Structures are given as structure tokens and as C-alpha cells.
Structure 1
Amino acid sequence: MKKRIVLALGGNALLKRGEVLSVENQYKSIHLFAELINDLAKEYSITIVHGNGPQVGLLALQNLAYKEVPAYPLDVLVAESQGMIGYMIAQALEQQAGMSPVTCLMTRVCVDANDSAFEQPSKFIGPVYQVEQMSELKEQYGWNMKVDGDYIRRVVPSPKPQQIVEAKIIDSLLTSDSVVICAGGGGVPVTRKEHGYQGVEAVIDKDSVSALLAEQIEADHLLILTDADAVYIDWGTENQRALRDVTSEELQPFAQPDGAMGPKAEAVINFVERTKNTAYIGALQDVKAILKGEKGTCIRPVETAVPDSKTLKESLVY
């Protein structure tokens, strides 16, 4: 039986920062991803979770542009982005020769209606803007804005995922050797009610959902693919150094609420510590080399460390 791997594909891995959010530009990255997945599917049972930050932000802008109809809530826009991006990935995957059957599944994720994240928006969505536009955007749209690098972006609530509603269906699809695209954009955020589920205004972090899903379907590995080729110490300075092989304990200092590498570090730490399996963080184009330990950052449980294993200092790549 093939080992199971969950691939978390970042929105910025599908679209380079500052690039026009066109279908053509997204397909360029998706077709590259599809070729890599075709090779990987020969060895692994694959689940794909994709981000939607740029896309759901664009849908929100388009949503506001037509004032004859009340604006759609974020949970509906997340569902739209799931269908849009999932469709594009499925189309590209099925064009690969010898590809396993591909299923794109609309996925809901339960959150706590009392999560403090609803009072402290932190999830970046949509395009970047110049810093001097902050007051204008707040006044025009009523958005919460935060600094993102040299720019500013809109932020929305991002509650913690508690349960993936369709987890059993995903497990069944994997058992039938299907490549599954699911929980896109972190899943459609819902809360449990007496007679079903109700959508909420939020966008869940797709890395957190990927870790939870990987745990629920008993995946052997979690691989978070982003536009960074590894986790770095002293990132952005002349002394920056890549980490190649670390324990979840050694990665803990990186798990900060920074909206960048922090959520990814937190997600892989949770997966590794709960399952005692291995996780990886790296660049989309390096996916095969990452799994071989040649690129990216490998995160292992503390319990698997052996006496002659590398220390944190020795795992640095200069």
C-alpha cells in the first residue's frame, strides 16, 4: 500500500507576489505542479490542500464592485475559490499521462464560534497595496489592514480548525487510489448548529487545516510547499542560513504569529508531535528533492532522534 502524503500548496506558490492574478498566470504554476505530482503519485497516495489568499481577496473585490446585490459572505467566497482553484488543479492533473483518478471535493471545516480570532483579524487576503493607501481603504471598504513586508493587505478572522467535516469521505477516496483535492483555502468555515452547520465570516489558515487533515486521515507525511525553499535562521540578513533537518522541538522558536513562516512552523510541529511522523517545508519546484532530504527543511519528532543525529547547528546550510 502506498504511503499517504498531504501536500499543502500555498497561494503564493500558485502566483508570484505582485503578479497579475490572471487565469493564465495561475495555470503556468499549476501545470508545473501537475508534472511534479504525476511523478509523485507513482509512489504516494496524495491529498492536495491549496491556499486561496490572493483569489478570495479578488473575489471579495469583485463582490463589492456590483452594488445591485448584497455582498456575499466570506464562507461563500471561500467555497467559490475552492471550486475555482480545485477545478484548475484537477484539469491540469488529468492532462498528465498515466495520472491516477482525480477528485475535487468541496470541504467544510468546523471552528469555534467563540474563537478569539474573530476579534483579532490576522489572515492576509487579496492583493498588496501601498502603505499610504491604508486610510483610504479603511474608509472606503471598512477593512482591517496590516503591514505585509513593504506593503499592506487586508486581514480577516482566522479561527483554529477543529474538525474536517468530510474527513471520512477523503479517507475513502484515498483508499480507492484517487488523488484528492480538498479543504481548499483552509476549508469553508462553519460552526455546528442543532440542525447542521452554519457558515461564518472567516478564512481558515490552510497550513493548520492541512496538519489536522493529515492527522485525521493518518498520513505518513505532511509537506508544506511555499515560495521559500526552506526555513531560515536570520532570514533577510546577510547571515541567513537554511535549516535542513531539525526536530519539532528545535523548530519551536519559529512558530510565531507572523503571518509568514510562523503558521507553517506551528502546523508541522502539531502534526509531527501528534502523529510522530515526518513533515517538510520547502519550495514547490523542489518537491521530489525535499522528500529525499536534499532540499527544504525536514522536521522529525524528538523521539526519533538518534545519538549521532545532527544538532541544530550542524543542520544549518551556509
Structure 2
Amino acid sequence: MRALLALGGNAMTSPDGRARPEDQIAAAETAMEAVADLVAAGVDVVVTHGNGPQVGNLLVKNELAAAVVPPVPLDWCGAQTQATLGFVLMDALDAALARRGVARRSAAVVTRTLVDADDAGFRTPTKPIGRYLPAEEARLLVDHGETWQDRGAKGWRRVVASPEPLEVVDAPAVHALVVAGFVVIANGGGGIPVVRRDDGTLTGVEAVIDKDLGAALLARSITVDVLVIATDVSHAVLRFGTPEATPVGRVTVGEMRALAAEGHFASGSMGPKVDAACRFVEQGGGRAAITSLAHIVEAVTGDPTGGAGTVVVPN
């Protein structure tokens, strides 16, 4: 069996949201224990991960240093965090596998994802990133070519495009490593967004790709059997936050799309996860699960007792 595990950004920080190096290392060690259990059970695993807190840290450094050095572009921030988190996750996974006596090696691939240069998001950026700043501080970053919006009393906040992912450029490398027996960490943060120039070459762009949609695209590209989106809750929930809240168990993709159309899943949180799970199944994937890190083994193995979280299957 081949599985792709998409770790949410919370899986790479402390429970209270801190992202100091020691917090990230500890969180990686916890996450990789579950991955090692899957590998020990004979599953071929590919891991993707969020990078929002890590990119956020780099953006703060950009802001503080903007009067001294030019800000690092957002695609560079994605590449840097992919490499750093890949290194941290590899160390944690290698140690977890060694404790189980499993002789499997890991590899991290700094991964690019193709987007359309004409995507509407580039004309009207709407994805907020980073922290709020006073107008005078934001103005310096606008002078460096960034787009910032006045958000009223909170201050100014940067906005970027969030284009549709079209192709994981480096999926063939990921696939080759999986076939060669590696546990692969790839496409962190949805991938580094790139566009194709008129001459066919690629160049990075300032954008943020939804990490869950990027995970679904990679899963289809390397033909995995199951996509597991790990988050901080055990299930997607209907009527979330109300006394009538109900967890969603096993559903067909048609049923899940109907529930999404009724407005049950917020666009800024569970909505993209539900969309990614549905896309994977609609385009030929066996099943997709949304669950907590503690239940990923059951999600991959198809535990029928309900511990697998929200499981989306073909109609």
C-alpha cells in the first residue's frame, strides 16, 4: 500500500502554537512516531507538511530588516522552509525507524508546483499572510513591491495570490525515490509556486498554494492508494460549534460534496481539506481521510471501528 500523509501546520509547532526550533523538533519527533508505525507495517509513505508558522517567522525577519537588506521573496521562503522542515523530519523519522529496527531511509525533495501566470489571483491578491503592521512600516514593504491592504484598526496586512495548483513539477523525482524504497518528504506548503515562461523555462512567483490541494495533486501524480489529511481534530464536523455538532464518518464523495455545498465546512479551515479529499477520490483515488495525527494508522489501514476519522470513498 502507498499512502500520502499531509501534516497540518500545527503538527510542526508546540501545542500552544510556538515555533521555536526546539518546539518544531519536538513536534516533528511526535509526528514521525506515527509515520514510523506505518512504515513498520509495510506501507510506502510520502509526507507533505504545512509551513505557515515557519514562513511567518521569515516574513517577520523580512519586515525587521527591510531598511537594511531587500526582503526575501515568498517563493524563496517556501524553498527555505521546505528544506529546513525536511531536514528536521528526516532526522526524527530516521530515529523513530531505528528504534523499531526498520532499515528504511528517508529523503526530502524541495518541490516546485506549477501555476498559471494568468490565474485570477495574481490580478487581485486576496490571501492574507503574516502579521499586521502600522501604515508607515507597511509602506516600506510596498516600496519593495509587496501588496498590502489597510485592515482598519488592526493595521495593514500583506495579501498575495493563492492560485490553483496545476502540476507538481518534481513528482517524477518523488515517485522514483518511493520506488527505490525511500520514505519521502515533499511538496511542503503546497509546493514552491512557479510559472512557465514563454520559452518553456520556470520561474518562482510570489504566491501561496493551498497545502491540502497541493497534497491531493501530488497524491494523484504518484498514484497513492490513500490520502490522509492530518489536522487537530479527529473528524470533519457538521454544524461545527453548535449543540447539534455531528462528526462525519464514512461518506461517499457525492455525499461529501453535498454537505460542503450546504455550507458546513469553513473556507478558512476545514473547507480546503474537504475539497482536497473529494478531488483525490473524484480523480481516481481509492479513499481519503481527514483525521487527527493520533489516528493516521487507522486511517491508512482502513479501520472499520470508526477510529479512521472522516473517510471519503467513491460513489
Coarse TM-score class (shorter-chain normalised): 0.7 to 0.9
Question: In the alignment, which of 162, 167, 172 is matched to residue 168 of structure 1?
Answer: 172
C-alpha displacement at 1:232, in angstroms?
A: 0.1
C-alpha displacement at 1:289, in angstroms?
A: 2.8
1-side partners of 2:189 and 2:111: how far apart?
Answer: 10
Q: Secondary structure at the match of 1:95?
A: helix
Q: Which amino acid aligns with 2:164?
A: K
Cα-to-partner distance string for 1:60-117 (whole Å, 9 max, x where unaligned): 1112212321111111111011111111111111112125110001111100011112
Question: In the alignment, which of 260, 267, 281 is matched to residue 254 of structure 1?
Answer: 260
C-alpha contact 2:225 2:285 (8 A) present in aligned 1: no
Q: TM-score when scaled to structure 2?
A: 0.85
Question: In the alignment, which of 103, 108, 131 is matched to residue 104 of structure 1?
Answer: 108
- Structure 1, unmatched stretches of 5+, are 303-318
| Aligned equivalent of 1:48 | 47
The number of residue pairs the alignment matches comes to 294
C-alpha contact 1:134 1:145 (8 A) present in aligned 2: no
Q: What is the RMSD of the two structures over their aligned residues, measured on CA atoms?
A: 2.6
Change (3 A) 1:190 1:205: same
| Aligned equivalent of 1:116 | 120
1-side partners of 2:310 and 2:47: how far apart?
Answer: 19
Cα-to-partner distance string for 1:144-184 (whole Å, 9 max, x where unaligned): 5799xxxx975432111111111111111110110000111
1-side partners of 2:103 and 2:186: how far apart?
Answer: 18
Cα-to-partner distance string for 1:133-152 (whole Å, 9 max, x where unaligned): 787876675565799xxxx9
Q: Secondary structure at the match of 1:21?
A: coil
Matched, 1:201 2:206: yes
| Aligned equivalent of 1:315 | none
| Aligned equivalent of 1:309 | none
Q: Secondary structure at the match of 2:234?
A: coil
1-side partners of 2:157 and 2:139: how far apart?
Answer: 14
% identical equivalent positions: 37
C-alpha contact 2:12 2:19 (8 A) present in aligned 1: no
| Aligned equivalent of 1:4 | 2
C-alpha contact 1:121 1:144 (8 A) present in aligned 2: no
2-side partners of 1:201 and 1:209: how far apart?
Answer: 16
Matched, 1:222 2:221: no
Q: Secondary structure at the match of 2:230?
A: strand
Pairing 1:1-318 to 2, within 5 Å after superposition: 3-15=1-13, 19-42=17-40, 43-66=42-65, 67-96=67-96, 97=98, 98=102, 100-123=104-127, 125-126=129-130, 144=148, 155-193=159-197, 194-252=199-257, 253-254=259-260, 258-291=267-300, 292=303, 293-302=306-315
C-alpha contact 1:254 1:261 (8 A) present in aligned 2: no
C-alpha contact 1:8 1:207 (8 A) present in aligned 2: yes
C-alpha displacement at 1:237, in angstroms?
A: 1.4
